[in-house]
Amino acid sequence: MSETSPQRIIPLLDQRPGVLSVPLSAMANAGLLSANGLLTDTRGRQLQDLRISVTDRCNFRCSYCMPKDVFTKDYPYLPHNSLLSFEEITRLARQFVAHGVQKIRLTGGEPLLRKNVEILVEQLATLRTPQGNALDLTLTTNGALLARKAAALKDAGLNRLTVSLDGLDDDVFRAMNNVDFPVREVLDGIEAAHKVGLGPIKVNMVVKRGTNDSQILPMARHFKGSGIVLRFIEYMDVGATNGWRMNDVLPSAELVSLLQQELPLVALEPAQVGETAQRWGYADANGLHDKAAGEIGVISSVTQAFCSDCNRARLSTEGQLYLCLFASQGYNLRELVRAAHTDAELAAAIAHIWSGRTDRYSELRGSEEAAPQGDGRRRVEMSYIGG
């Protein structure tokens, strides 16, 4: 550690924040016992996207998510009986879909570590929106187990997936995952997923200044024209364990400028409301989008907040509902599921929670309002609810 580097303090506590029970009496009094597919929060943001964490475990120890000095072999992971079963997840997901969710993303930890996760995919693939449409069913993975799982996931009904990949240089990648895992096996997993028709595939690269920013251009060169959308993500201040500093953030505007020096880009319109990534297409000689060359995305949650149209809810592996990636509290839906409440009551719980949502952390970052709560609550860890 250099003389100018601040000392890092490692929290030695369970990294899961507190949860709130959901009073059914309050929901009944609010008249929120039905779902009409158009559930909005206090800022008019419609619930359309559900992220479901299926495990709090991961086989990587990336410094920005599950640093090895915190997530040791003695870390208190959730016991199996605390995890939602596949049937409980599907039952809850059905209520979210009734409220307007159109996309479900399975995440973790590393979701492919959850035994027989393809069975859950198969169950979720049967769900239909109120209009009778199938869901956009996707999954985010580090790719380590993807080569052996891709065909089973496709057969079960998974539409597409996102692979986290923080560099192509093997030394850089091994240092980033901190378990000496080779990049070649992740690339093999991506190829296996492509062959079985899981697509379009997206590749997410978290960029940490001074750590893997040398990989920006090599990654862009590699995936240009491949049909795979590469997305660069600003290193975020999620949770309390990753030692986040603003100095480690490479702003997306700076990253795009770097790419433009070699690979001219043209701004593209958002593909849908609530999209987190700003899209850039590779330009042809006339300055127009070369569709054969493809596109990249930049996710700028630190420097360009997109809270205003955020339509995502997050369900933890033990059934706690979080309304923001930077939340410091969740809502206990598992308690309701295991107390044999009716589907109408579960739907009411979701409506009661989402309709009161005010979250906009990224807009408030650095302000007194965004500071940690005085009651000692910590923000939830990305490894617990997924990105």
Longest dimension (CA), the chain: 64
Q: Is residue 174 a contact partner of residue 214, using CB atoms and an 8 Å limit? A: no
What confidence score (pLDDT) does residue 70 get?
87
Percentage helix, strand, coil for the chain under 3-state DSSP, each rounded to 5: 30, 15, 50
Residue 60 and residue 177 in contact, taking contact as beta carbons nearer than 8 Å? yes
Domain 19-385: assigned CATH number:
3.20.20.70
**3-state class of 242 per DSSP?**
coil
The DSSP code sequence of 300-361 is: -TTTS--GGG--EEEE-TTSEEESSTT-S-EEEHHHHHHTT--HHHHHHHHHHHHHT----H
Contact 352, 32 (CB under 8 A): yes
Question: Any idea of the CA torsion for 376, 47, 230, 172, to the nearest 10 degrees?
Answer: 20
Which residues, 6 or more positions from 16, have their beta carbon under 8 angstroms from its beta carbon?
316, 380, 381, 384
Burial 121-151 (b: 16+ CB within 10 A, else e): bbbbeebeeeeeeebebbbbbbbbbbbebbb
**Distances from the Cα of 154 to the Cαs of 7, 189, 230, 326, in angstroms?**
46, 13, 21, 32
What tens-digit pLDDT sequence spans the chain (387 residues)?
A: 333 434 333 333 344 556 677 765 555 444 545 688 889 999 999 999 999 999 999 999 998 888 898 899 999 999 999 999 999 999 999 999 999 999 999 999 999 999 999 999 999 999 999 999 999 999 999 999 999 999 999 999 999 999 999 999 999 999 999 999 999 999 999 999 999 999 899 999 999 999 999 999 999 999 999 999 999 999 876 655 565 678 889 999 999 999 999 999 999 998 877 678 899 999 999 999 999 999 999 998 888 877 888 999 999 999 999 998 878 889 999 999 999 889 999 999 999 999 999 988 676 665 555 555 444 456 677 677 776
Sequential DSSP letters for 145-184: THHHHHHHHHHHT--EEEEE---SSHHHHHHHHSS---HH
Give the pLDDT confidence score for residue 308 in this predicted structure. 86
pLDDT of 83 reads: 96
Q: What 3-state DSSP class applies to 188?
A: helix
Directed axis angle between helix 146-156 and helix 117-124, to 10°?
30
> What is the per-residue DSSP string for 358-380?
---HHHHTTSGGGSPPTT---PP
Give the three-state DSSP class for 42.
coil
What does the domain layout of the chain look like in residue ranges?
Answer: 19-385
With 0-12 / 13-18 / 19 or more C-beta atoms within 10 angstroms meaning exposed / middle / buried, residue 91 is middle
What pairing do the DSSP bridges indicate for beta strands 103-107 and 229-234?
unpaired
Helix (H, G, I), strand (E, B) or coil at 287: coil
Distance CA 294, CA 261 (A): 17
> Contact, 48 vs 131, CB < 8 A?
no
